[in-house]
Structure 1
């Protein structure tokens, strides 16, 4: 009976010791406190199986403490912003005087815009494009409104035939609604209505009013600060 008790105690001690070693392999452990045993100099006791690469403990100075991981800073989210680009095209370049049929060399002005619009559409950032036709102040409102609409329609047709999505393009005739040169040119040539020379001169003076404005509405991706 006594031998059995001693054997049981020995097995229990071995199990406790094995458990301690398993918890802190490579070190001699105090079975009562589960702490690493130290010598008189405060140094941890190593076993013959100690491997610093695998068994090192920070508390024994055999391994560096893990450095805190810096928080991951996420980049600011991109915010879509709608931007409108205004391009003014001279009606003199696009059309003959008092006409609404595009000149052959109008493609030199329109093709770069077509390329930009198709690129925007392909990227899914084209909200739309508005083509506004304008005339000078000469002539009646009815006539100028009709002429400016026909010119805007001609540019729209060119864009659509070149591959710009039709549903993205609108054409508006605005007649002489924004004839900015009227007052200045009238003051320069007050007798234009009765003088052929002044009539020709005032037509040249108000040429900037005869135009087509292209307003491109596209999404530009920016970064929030």
Structure 2
């Protein structure tokens, strides 16, 4: 009976010791306090299984303490200027040499209306300028008048759909920025006397017949506040 009691006590002691070592592997541990045993110099006592990379302890100086997470940077909404230019083909908006909007022009204009009304609803719309342009063919008088009428037609559509009238201006710029003139004249030098070339040069300078919508607004963005 005495032998069995001693054997049981020994097994229990071994189990306690094993659990202590398991809790802090690689270190000699005081079973009564569960703290790492230190030598006369205050250094932690390592065992033969010590692996600094795998299980080094901060308390023994074998691993750096985890650094606290950086404090979140404060942010605040700020309004910044925004300019956007949208170019619309006159071929899509109008019939040739006309200034009345085609029925399907709304497919191009309605997305712009939605954007302008959204800006205006937040007080972010400074203004929108509608610029009409023509190609080089025809007199300055006719081109200036046509480009102004087309710009006015687009402006009227915006206002009728709910864009504030005091935010919209329209300007007819005629053939002032007909960018394709020289290139297309070089391709079709006999257009004035040749019906086929006349049709071809009209197609070549199509991109000059356009309406540009220039949006002047602000947008909200988040910026970091300076550290105090």
- Give TM-score, length-normalised by structure 1: 0.66
Tell me what 1:96 maps to: 95
TM-fit CA distance, 1:208: 0.2
TM-fit CA distance, 1:75: 2.0
Number of corresponding residues: 156
Larger Rg: 1
TM-fit CA distance, 1:76: 3.6
Tell me what 1:184 maps to: 183
Point out where structure 2 has 5 or more consecutive residues left out of the alignment.
1-70
Tell me what 1:200 maps to: 199
**What is the DSSP-based 3-state SS (H/G/I as helix, E as strand, rest coil) of the residue aligned with 1:178?**
coil
List per-residue Cα deviations over 1:200-222 (Å, max 9, x = no partner): 10000000000000111111122
> 2:100 and 2:119 mapped to 1: Cα distance?
27
Deviating more after overlay: 75-84 vs 178-187: 75-84
- Give TM-score, length-normalised by structure 2: 0.65
The aligned runs of 1:2-81 (5 Å cut-off) are: 75-81=74-80
List per-residue Cα deviations over 1:40-78 (Å, max 9, x = no partner): xxxxxxxxxxxxxxxxxxxxxxxxxxxxxxxx8772443
Tell me what 1:51 maps to: none
Are 1:120 and 2:123 an aligned pair?
no
List per-residue Cα deviations over 1:65-94 (Å, max 9, x = no partner): xxxxxxx87724433111111111000000
TM-fit CA distance, 1:184: 0.7
Tell me what 2:131 maps to: 132
Tell me what 1:145 maps to: 144
After TM superposition, the runs of 4+ consecutive aligned structure 1 residues lying more than 6 A away are: none
Point out where structure 1 has 5 or more consecutive residues left out of the alignment.
1-71
TM-fit CA distance, 1:140: 1.1
